[in-house]
Structure 1
């Protein structure tokens, strides 16, 4: 994910939100300045909310990934809690601007709404960034394939398959003809699944468990609540204490849930990469 692109998308979205609020002029601000002045003042206040709430989203997302706790519950709770210091900051520094509100108690609901708005902007920007990343993904980077994930030829329509041919996973039928197979990993991204190939990836609108089901009999394991990997798709494994991070053949990195490490080791899922652990 390109974080600079992501931040620029979020700033652009926050500017649009500031323009809309500045046009409406709520809380008695409509008569205080002209349109551009209102937009600038609302931009500054909303960016104050952004600076406080956005790190909170990153923090609670990281905690959810590290602990395998429900991500949405943690992130929404963190955003809700961040609205309290935001309301306190606004009540101290911008009481004159929010003269239509009554102190901390009156500003708090608006701070909660602003915090939720920042979360909505972050979710929307992430979806836009994922689509851009899929469109800009390299299509011709050479990657050495492991034998376990050697490409499966797509059968031509109407052609008969021989008993020795591997059956094509149903998931491949959802992908474009230009997808550089085979499928080496599946990654859950909000309401989408990113299907990783050896030279790029594509987004499919479906649930991760449904995508795993459509991989049929392809050998693989779910290593994290957001990741499934095919056997032989691992380029390297890094270990730091009980934590494991996997690098796939296409260069993508994925976490391994702590409670899945023992199960995967028993199945020798990392066996070919044990010598690379650092």
Structure 2
């Protein structure tokens, strides 16, 4: 079983990896540094070398800062309520490894190693940049971070069963899709979960999904379909085939082995 800290951290890191705003901001910052050539890089390097240098610098700095910011955001959730403050702590701590990473990059470009004291000096100089980076990141992505953070704090299916009468499978859904179950259907290797608030595909075997329905009254009407009693409207027959008509208008086929059970359960509707 994955530790909650690592699973939550990976979830938030994936958020950055798939965020086009983040990558657009990164590319813009690298370009600005390459064109302006701060810290004497415009005098020492051609534009092509300068672009490569600042690309490496920012890639290393942003990677370290993001990883430590996310780790702090996850680790301090129960101790510190403000998301920005949690991320800021991690970002400022990142200044130390960033300082030494910049020393390695300078060594790669100049061939001169400036020692530990210079690494500490770079770390001190990186502090305001780390704070600025954290503010920019939070401003651009605080909504997504808050949404992932809220989802990560939801209890696991096992915990939900003990603490609540809600079906376990609802914990697997996005918060906006959680509601009374309507039906389940097989969709390739996924199970489509339909509630009164929406639909969502869950990477879960159908047989396992059925085990997470809890006490929700319902019936498996087909090898690929389960329906909740409360949302069945009526039965309909066409060309010898039987269908369960749901209150939302969906028509679910009934397999021959399940016909008698379906008629007994819903035949009075």
Which of the five TM-score ranges fits, normalised by the shorter chain? 0.3 to 0.5
By percentage of residues, which structure has more helix? 2
| Structure-2-length-normalised TM-score | 0.44
**Relative contact order, higher structure (CA 8 A, sep 6+):** 1
Which one has a bigger Cα radius of gyration?
A: 2
